[in-house]
Structure 1
Amino acid sequence: MSDSQPLVSAIIPVYNCDRYLKETILSVLQQTHPPFEILVIDDGSTDNSAAVAQEFSDSIQYYSQPNQGAGTARNYGTQLAKGNYFAFLDADDLWEKDKLTRQLQIFANRPEVDMVFGQMKNFHSPELPESVKQQFYCPPELIPGYHPGTLLIKREAFERVGSFDTQWKLGEFIDWYLKAMEAGLNSAMLPELVLRRRIHQTNTGSRDRDFRKDYVRIVKASLDRRRGKKQL
């Protein structure tokens, strides 16, 4: 495997998301730059997620683990992955078809870049009744996507930062991103849409509201690390 050849490992953690998983996998299979491999990591689903994933047995690699959270599933995916780039996608979200093509072009033109993000847009899942849609606001404009689903990162850059911290119920990606900034990773943000983020009644942020204090703890931990470095 040559470092100059962009081999993308696409990692999809799934937990009880059989309703959306097929569409998510198709959005990866339809990329204009196909991933080198697609790894679906089942985080102990009790619905039909396994059956949906296995419909694509010729195109994906399916693995399962006991339910431990999305961070643990992503970490497992990176341990299994053979590519020299990592990309992540939640099992209810959708990539735009040229996501990887656009991001790999940035790496080709700017070799100093370690990771590339892109814009994202929230959308209401079609099955939601209007009364529920009104409870979840979806901004019409694009949003800079500091989100695992928009990220494409060089393997060696990811390994410099380390795995996702699984102590957090919410915000493990924010924690990882702050550590990436502390480690000096060079990032780029595409102006184009790369991810459509599905809003539905069982989004993790809606389901696990009691753990929103994790965000505050994550930011405080980052500030403490930065202060510690200044004092050395």
Structure 2
Amino acid sequence: MSQAPGTRTPPSVSTVIPCFNGERYLGEAIRSVLDQDHDPLEIIVVDDGSTDRSAQVARGFGERVRLVAQPHAGAAAARNLGVQHAQGDVLAFLDADDLWTAGRLVRQLRVLESHASADIVIGHTEQFVSPEIAEPERLAFRFDPGPAPARLSGALVVRRPAFERVGGFSTALETGEFVDWYLRAEELGLVSVMLPEVVLRRRLHRGNHGVVRRDAQQDYLSVIRAALERRRRAERTS
């Protein structure tokens, strides 16, 4: 179809979905991206060595979803591999058990188009207990149901050159890799715009609730220490 004179070509968006044994929720996550009212849209599911039917779920969407596979290496490595295969001008991410909200992509892209200096557009997130969790088990899921500023990869869109300037997600971290990436982006002076509305719904379920691992705490401490050390080095050289 030819483009009308004077109209601007919308940016192409690549959405990367890392997935490890996520067959139960992956289809719903993919549909939340397909239901967005922005086109063209590229969805790349990176199968991180799953042993369930995750790959079959992704293949069930046909040509609308590209499936890339790797031996199990973690979410950070899976996102990085997805970016390597991505062709879009703008990058977006979604975990296999979470959901994008309706219309979020258009709203975020409008900010990028109207603010040339903006590199990143991020929004708020809300948590919800997965519907298959019945009472009284649901009572054990203690969380703030209200919207909160997101520090999750699924809540942002980023211009591809800006992402490449920061570099990929740290594969040395099992958790906290997005916080690490975001801190590095801020240190480089990337401009981020925070939208007030919810753009991501984070699912709480048996596989991700109530587990506060010692190694996870150590990962976040490592992220903070690394950021402080980079700041000290910058101050010494300034």
Counterpart of 2:41, as a letter, is: F
Which residue is equivalent to 2:171? 166
Residues 207, 59 of structure 1: CA spacing in aligned structure 2 closer, same or farther, 3 A cutoff?
farther
CA separation in 1, counterparts of 2:210 and 2:92?
Answer: 21
Q: Percent identity?
A: 48
Question: Structure 1: any 5+ residue segments left out of the alignment?
Answer: none
Which residue is equivalent to 1:13? 18
Which residue is equivalent to 2:106? 101
SS of aligned partner of 1:127: coil
Q: Between Structure 1 and Structure 2, how many residues are aligned?
A: 230
Which residue is equivalent to 2:115? 110
| Regions of 4+ moved over 6 Å | none
Counterpart of 2:86, as a letter, is: A
1:45 aligns with 2:54: no
Q: Which has the larger radius of gyration?
A: 2
- 8 A contact 1:170–1:208 mirrored in 2: no
CA separation in 1, counterparts of 2:135 and 2:95?
Answer: 24
SS of aligned partner of 1:111: coil
User: How far has the Cα of 1:197 moved from its partner?
Assistant: 0.5
User: How far has the Cα of 1:4 moved from its partner?
Assistant: 6.1
CA separation in 1, counterparts of 2:182 and 2:190?
Answer: 10
Which residue is equivalent to 1:127? 132
User: How far has the Cα of 1:206 moved from its partner?
Assistant: 2.8
SS of aligned partner of 1:140: coil
User: How far has the Cα of 1:198 moved from its partner?
Assistant: 0.2
Question: Structure 2: any 5+ residue segments left out of the alignment?
Answer: 1-7
User: How far has the Cα of 1:133 moved from its partner?
Assistant: 2.2
Counterpart of 1:130, as a letter, is: E
Counterpart of 1:128, as a letter, is: I
Q: TM-score, normalised by structure 2?
A: 0.92
Q: TM-score, normalised by structure 1?
A: 0.95
Between 7-16 and 122-131, the greater mean CA deviation after superposition: 122-131
CA separation in 2, counterparts of 1:85 and 1:134?
Answer: 39
Which residue is equivalent to 1:216? 221
User: How far has the Cα of 1:140 moved from its partner?
Assistant: 2.4
Residue from 139, 148, 166 that aligns with 2:144 = 139
Residue from 185, 193, 216 that aligns with 1:188 = 193
